C-alpha cells in the first residue's frame, strides 16, 4: 500500500540573488493545507561556468540553511534563474497538426545553443483571433540541457531531489487558481521581480494569457540613482521610503513650525521621487493595459476583474493605487501564504509577496 504524502514538495524559486522556498503540510479531515516552512536565502545561484570553489560554497551554505529550517522531505519543484530559461508566447495556425514540431522550429530562431542540446516544451493556451484569422496561442519554454543538468547536480549535492523544473507563469497560474476560492471570473497575477515582471491571466480557472515585461524593481532604483546622482543603496532606500506616489492626498494637519517644515520637506522629496518613477510606472501600466485589452478583445469583451500584485517589487508604497487608477480595475497586494492557508502567517525572511512563485511551485502535484 502506498503511503500518502503529508508534505508538498519544496517550491524553490531561484532568483537573481536569492532562493525562496515554501513547503506545505497537507492532510486532516476535511483535508486542509498549512504552512510548514517558508524561507529566503540571500545567495546567488552559480551557473554551469562557475568555478568549483563557488559551487562548493553554494552547496555548503544550502546544506547549512536547510538544516536550520523546518523543511520536511527534501523533494523540490524548482524554477531556474530567468537568465537560464527562455519563456515566450507563440502563435501558430489553428490547423497545425504537429504543434511540437512547429514549436521546435520557431524556438530555433532565438536559441543560443544547438537545438539538439536543448530541452523544449510547450502548452497550448487556446485559440485567438489575429487579423481576422484564428490562431493557436502556445506558451513555450526552452533551456540548454547542460545548464539544466548543472543546476540539478548542484541541488543534488545540497541534498535536494528535484522532481520537476517548472516555469514562473505556471506557478503563478496555480497560485491564482488556489486563491480564487472557486470563482470563475478573470483574474491576473503580476509578479514584479528585480529584473522583469511576469503577468498571467486566468479565466474560468484556466491559464489564458501570459506576458513578460522588461521592467522590474532594479530599473526603478536605477532611475532614482541616475536622476539624483546617488548610489544604488541610497536610491533603494528612497524608493522604499516614498514609493510610487505622494504619501497623502489630504492637507496635512496643523503642526509645530519645525514639524511642519520637516513634513513639507518629506512631501517635496516624495514629489521628486514620484516624478522620477512616473515614466517607468506608466510603461509598466501601459504594457499591462495592452495585455488586458487584448484579453478582453479575445474574450467577447470580458474584463480582468481583479489583479493580485506579488513579488519583491509589489511592496512599493502606493503601487497598487497607481496601477488601479491606470488599469481601472481592482488591484491588491497579495499575501499569498495567508490566502493559501486561510490563517495569518508570520515570517522571519521578508514579506509574503516574495514567496508567491515558490508557493505556486509547491502547489504542483507530482
Taking only the tens place, the pLDDT of each residue in 64-73 is: 999 998 898 8
Given pLDDT bands bounded at 50, 70 and 90, which one contains residue 1? very low
pLDDT recorded at residue 256: 55
pLDDT digits (tens, 9 = 90+) for 10-45: 999 998 789 999 999 887 666 678 899 999 999 989
Q: Fill in the DSSP letter of residue 353.
A: G
Given pLDDT bands bounded at 50, 70 and 90, which one contains residue 5? low
Given pLDDT bands bounded at 50, 70 and 90, which one contains residue 333? very high
pLDDT recorded at residue 366: 54
pLDDT digits (tens, 9 = 90+) for 128-176: 877 678 889 999 999 999 999 999 999 999 999 999 999 999 999 999 9
pLDDT at position 213 over 60: yes
Per-chain mean pLDDT for the chain: 87
Residue among 95, 192, 103, 98 at smallest CA distance from 139: 103
pLDDT recorded at residue 261: 58
256-to-128, 252, 259, 262 alpha-carbon distances in Å = 61, 12, 5, 10
Residue among 66, 71, 77 at smallest CA distance from 158: 66
Percentage of residues in the chain with pLDDT exceeding 70? 91
- C-alpha 111/C-alpha 144 separation (Å) is 9
The residue ranges of every structural domain in the chain are 85-144, 177-334
pLDDT at position 259 over 70: no
pLDDT at position 218 over 50: yes
CATH C-level class of 177-334: alpha beta
Please state the three-class secondary structure of 246-299 as a single string: CCCCCCCCCCCHHHHHHHHHHHHHHHHHHHHHHHHHHHHHHHHHHHHHHHHHHC
Q: Within 10 Å of residue 188's Cβ, how many Cβ atoms?
A: 27
Q: In the predicted model, what is the mean pLDDT of residues 111-136?
A: 85
H/E stretch holding 188 reads: strand 187-192
pLDDT recorded at residue 171: 97
pLDDT at position 251 over 50: no
Kindly report the pTM of this predicted structure.
0.89
Given pLDDT bands bounded at 50, 70 and 90, which one contains residue 4? low
Given pLDDT bands bounded at 50, 70 and 90, which one contains residue 296? very high
pLDDT recorded at residue 301: 87
Is 3.10.150.10 the CATH number for 85-144?
no
Name, in order, each residue with C-beta under 8 angstroms of 187's C-beta and a sequence gap of 6 or more.
176, 180, 201, 202, 203, 304, 305, 306, 307, 308
Percentage of residues in the chain with pLDDT exceeding 90? 58
Amino acid at each position: 500500500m502506498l503511503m500518502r504524502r503529508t508534505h508538498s514538495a519544496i517550491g524553490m524559486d531561484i532568483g537573481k540573488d536569492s532562493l525562496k522556498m515554501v513547503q506545505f503540510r497537507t492532510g486532516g479531515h476535511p483535508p486542509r493545507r498549512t504552512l510548514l516552512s517558508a524561507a529566503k536565502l540571500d545567495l546567488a545561484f552559480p551557473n554551469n561556468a562557475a568555478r568549483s570553489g563557488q559551487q562548493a560554497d553554494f552547496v555548503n551554505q544550502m546544506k547549512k540553511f536547510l538544516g536550520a529550517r523546518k523543511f520536511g522531505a527534501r523533494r523540490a519543484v524548482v524554477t531556474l534563474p530567468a537568465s537560464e530559461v527562455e519563456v515566450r508566447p507563440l502563435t501558430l495556425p489553428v490547423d497545425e497538426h504537429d504543434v511540437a514540431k512547429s514549436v521546435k522550429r520557431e524556438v530555433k530562431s532565438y536559441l543560443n545553443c544547438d537545438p539538439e542540446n536543448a530541452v523544449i516544451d510547450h502548452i497550448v493556451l487556446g485559440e485567438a483571433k489575429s487579423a481576422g484569422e484564428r490562431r493557436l496561442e502556445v506558451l513555450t519554454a526552452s533551456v540548454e540541457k547542460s545548464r539544466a543538468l548543472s543546476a540539478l547536480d548542484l541541488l543534488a549535492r545540497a541534498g535536494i531531489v528535484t522532481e520537476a523544473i517548472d516555469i514562473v507563469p505556471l506557478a503563478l497560474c496555480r497560485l491564482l487558481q488556489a486563491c480564487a476560492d472557486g470563482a470563475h471570473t478573470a483574474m491576473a497575477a503580476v509578479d514584479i521581480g528585480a529584473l522583469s515582471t511576469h503577468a498571467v491571466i486566468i479565466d474560468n480557472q484556466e491559464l489564458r494569457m501570459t506576458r513578460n515585461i522588461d521592467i522590474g524593481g532594479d530599473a526603478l532604483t536605477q532611475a532614482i540613482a541616475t536622476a539624483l546622482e546617488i548610489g544604488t543603496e541610497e536610491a533603494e532606500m528612497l524608493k522604499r521610503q516614498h514609493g510610487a506616489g505622494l504619501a497623502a492626498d489630504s492637507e496635512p494637519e496643523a503642526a509645530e513650525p519645525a514639524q511642519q517644515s520637516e513634513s513639507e520637506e518629506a512631501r517635496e522629496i516624495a514629489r521628486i521621487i514620484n516624478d522620477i518613477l512616473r515614466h517607468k510606472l506608466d510603461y509598466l501600466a501601459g504594457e499591462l493595459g495592452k495585455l488586458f485589452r487584448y484579453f478582453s478583445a479575445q474574450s467577447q469583451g470580458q474584463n480582468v476583474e481583479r489583479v493580485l500584485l506579488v513579488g519583491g517589487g509589489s511592496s512599493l508604497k502606493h503601487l497598487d493605487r497607481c496601477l488601479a487608477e491606470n488599469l481601472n480595475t481592482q488591484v491588491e497586494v497579495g499575501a499569498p501564504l495567508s490566502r493559501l492557508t486561510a490563517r495569518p502567517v508570520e515570517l522571519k525572511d521578508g514579506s509574503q509577496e516574495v514567496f508567491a512563485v515558490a508557493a505556486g511551485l509547491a502547489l504542483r502535484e507530482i
